[in-house]
Amino acid sequence: MNARHKELTRGSRLAKNVVWNLLSVAVPFLVAIITIPILIDAIGKERFGLLAISWMFVGYFSLFDFGLGRALTVLVAKYLGESREQEIPSLVWTALTLMSILGVVGFVVILWLSPWLVDEVLKVPPELVGETRRAFYLLSASIPLVIITVGLRGVIGAYQRFDLLTAVRIPMGILTFVGPVAVLPFSVSLYPIVAVLLAGRFLATLVHLLLLFRILLEIKQHYMLDSRQIRPLLGFGGWMTISNMIVPMMVSMDRFVIGAVLSVTAVAFYTTPAERQGRLKAEAVSPR
pLDDT at position 211, please?
93
Contact 255/278 with Cβ under 8 angstroms? Answer: no
Q: How far apart are the C-alpha atoms of 178 and 53, rounded to whole Å?
A: 17
Domain ranges of the chain: 3-285
- pTM (2 decimals)? 0.77
3-state class (DSSP) for residue 22: helix
pLDDT, tens digit (0-9, with 9 covering 90-100), for 145-202: 999 999 999 999 898 888 888 888 889 888 888 999 999 999 888 889 999 999 999 9
Cβ neighbours of residue 168 under 8 Å, at least 6 residues apart?
204, 207, 208, 211
Longest pairwise C-alpha distance within the chain: 64
| Residue % of the chain over a pLDDT of 70 | 74
Tell me the mean pLDDT in the region 117-133: 85
pLDDT tens digits along 226-249? 888 888 887 776 666 665 555 555
Confidence of residue 101 (pLDDT cuts 50, 70, 90): very high
Q: Which residue has the higher pLDDT, 76 or 8?
A: 76
Q: For Cα atoms 39, 50, 140, give the angle at the middle one, nearest 5 degrees.
A: 115
Residues near 116 by Cβ (< 8 Å), separated by ≥ 6? none
